[in-house]
Structure 1
Amino acid sequence: MREYDLVVFDWDGTLMDSTGHIVHAIQQACRDLAFPVPEREAASHVIGLRLADAMQQFCPEQQADRMPDLIDAFRRHYQANLDQVTLFDAARETLEAIRAHGVFVAIATGSSRAGLDRALAAAGIAELFDATRTVDECHSKPHPDMLLQLTDVFGVECRRTLMIGDTSHDLLMANHAGCHGIGISHGAHASEHLQRCQPRAIVHSLPELASWLLPRLC
């Protein structure tokens, strides 16, 4: 018996191999403004949050008035060489296999609407999603708003909805919404951080996700 009617993916670090690119952009933005440069773990921890909330972590309190400059610097570095960022291996195949089981497939991301739409167009997979939600329409993770909106759109119960993400923000959002969560360890947060959120499972690649999920969609 099928367990899920709606499968929701995070974008950065889950389907798109962009963690390193985002970390580099954060670090370069801090260097530009002569702010303390965060280590990789600290920079990757904020991935998935609304941009302003994420960058606030790296803006010294006594220079709060320079937050707009820090955000602008991040955007400049993020856009540089963005065309070199690619989907994780087997992303399209995994999505197509899930859709073949007749379930709804969606995205819930901390990206902006414009950013997600550009990324989907560049990746050529926009048609594989029935709906998407970004921080331009919803509260930022880990607030449950994105998942609650998506379940409402499709008339799906939260307990029959699965959230897949590479950060604790994704899994906490699932917990807050009453949905199930799966952590994937190839992105921003290490397995031990994901495990603290008590997901149904932690997988290490999209093919491994497919092996776990597809039997539960029959």
Structure 2
Amino acid sequence: MSPLRFELLAFDWDGTLFDSTACIVKSIQAAAREFGLPEVPKERAQHVIGLGLEPALQIAVPDLPRERYRDLANAYRRHYFATVHEVTLFEGVPDLLLELKRRGHRLTVATGKSRRGLDEALRQVGLTDLFEATRTAEETASKPHPQMLHELMDELRVPAHGTLMIGDTTHDLQLAANAGTAALAVSFGAHAAAELLALQPLAVVPNVPALATWLRQHG
């Protein structure tokens, strides 16, 4: 087997492995309606996916006094956890992750989710033991601050040149740039391919089979 180019693969969760974009958008919109606020456009709600929850809500729902965002976040969580059980991994993701693990890659997650949200999602899809390390936005700095990736690299003792960030948003790509790592984008999540291409990742792939092919050839 040829040496791995990227020992450490850091996956975003929502919109990259987990098909949760629509669930998150609807939960943001429902929380805003609960507070009597104007309807949040789908595009604005999608744009903030990947950020920590309160920073995301401050952008998606700007017409609220700052001290009310914690309450809005709690409303969002109620709506999200009421429906997330209907969400699953993108087709082909379990097989891809197992293949990458067999090849010797060290799999991690770098996500804007809460610890509760990530742990429940991992249990839901049966992947709790597949990842060597995970970081959520409530445990460290939110994307695109580099701390999340720096902590994963330090924990697994893998340098930046051996690390690849894989995500579906410009926040993921900016995180990688700030941390000094390479980045690979997927265009089947929250952000459009044109937005992702503007940040010059190694590639933008349109689906899970293309992601698998790219990683086999270049990972």
* TM range, smaller chain: over 0.9
Q: Tell me which of 201, 204, 208 is aligned to 2:203.
A: 201
**Aligned residue for 1:17?**
19
CA deviations 1:23-43 (Å, max 9, x no partner) are 001111111111122211100
Q: 39-48 vs 29-38, which deviates more?
A: 29-38
**Aligned residue for 2:63?**
60
**Aligned residue for 1:104?**
106
Q: Tell me which of 187, 191, 203 is aligned to 1:185.
A: 187
Structure 1 position 22, deviation (Å): 0.3
Q: Tell me which of 43, 46, 54 is aligned to 2:48.
A: 46
Structure 2 letter corresponding to 1:206: V
CA distance in 1, matches of 2:67, 2:85: 32
CA distance in 1, matches of 2:73, 2:115: 17
Structure 1 consecutive aligned stretches of length 4 or more whose deviation exceeds 4 Å:
none
Q: Unaligned stretches of 5+ in structure 2?
A: none
Q: 65-74 vs 154-163, which deviates more?
A: 65-74
Q: Tell me which of 79, 82, 85 is aligned to 1:83.
A: 85
Question: Would the aligned equivalents of 1:35 and 1:59 in 2 still touch at CA under 8 Å?
Answer: no
Q: Superposition pairs for residues 145-184 of structure 1, below 5 Å?
A: 145-184=147-186
Structure 1 letter corresponding to 2:63: P
Structure 2 letter corresponding to 1:16: F
Count of residue pairs the alignment pairs up: 216
* TM-score, L = length of structure 1: 0.95
CA distance in 2, matches of 1:185, 1:206: 10
CA distance in 2, matches of 1:35, 1:153: 42
**Aligned residue for 1:113?**
115
Q: Superposition pairs for residues 120-139 of structure 1, below 5 Å?
A: 120-139=122-141
Question: Would the aligned equivalents of 1:59 and 1:70 in 2 still touch at CA under 8 Å?
Answer: no
CA distance in 2, matches of 1:99, 1:159: 19
Percent of residue pairs bearing the same amino acid type: 46
Question: Would the aligned equivalents of 1:31 and 1:37 in 2 still touch at CA under 8 Å?
Answer: yes
CA distance in 2, matches of 1:67, 1:185: 30
CA distance in 1, matches of 2:117, 2:96: 23
Question: Would the aligned equivalents of 2:32 and 2:38 in 1 still touch at CA under 8 Å?
Answer: yes
CA distance in 2, matches of 1:73, 1:189: 24
